[in-house]
Amino acid sequence: MNERAGEGELVIKPVTLEDVPAIVGIDAEVTGSAKADFWYGCYARQNTDAKCRFLVAHRDGEVAGYTFGAIQAWEFGSPPCGWVEVISVAPQYRNAHVATKLFDAVVAYFRDNGIDTVRTMLHIDDHQLISFFRMQGMAAGPYIELEMQAD
């Protein structure tokens, strides 16, 4: 999938091993925590599990953003649905519709695989990300997440 965004062409494709260090760097910059094992694990999952899709957006040869989605079935009694587990854009590429293009690409993957419901989970205080997903047409679903400390 090729799209125009900002100065250069935005190219969205499956993540390659060469993309992972840049993804680790963007994540560390955005979250303040480097999680290389997690990102290499996502790369491995996309190569071993056909229900996973790890996509990267390149612009002018640089990683501009990425998303990871997975088709999951019967969690909490839910029929198969697509989960947008992660979506992130490098700060210098924000406000260039990169996240929207990544979201559209992962939703197209779900749709192409017979999935008609898409879900995600967000921190309740992440108003920017909540606004982004609402702008994509998402709204509160029928499930409520509960948790406790197991210590």
Q: Which domains does the chain have, with CATH numbers?
A: 2-135 (3.40.630.30)
Tens digit of pLDDT for each residue in 65-101?
A: 999 999 998 777 888 999 999 999 999 999 899 999 9
Tens digit of pLDDT for each residue in 2-41?
A: 444 456 899 999 999 999 999 999 999 999 999 999 999 9
DSSP letter for 56, please. E
Per the structure block, which two tokens stand in for 123? Answer: 């921190």
Confidence of residue 110 (pLDDT cuts 50, 70, 90): very high
Per the structure block, which two tokens stand in for 59? Answer: 């612009």
Write phi, then psi, for 39 (nearest 5 degrees).
-70, -40
Per the structure block, which two tokens stand in for 46? Answer: 């996309």
Prediction pTM value: 0.90
> 118: buried, middle or exposed (CB in 10 Å: 19+, 13-18, 0-12)?
buried
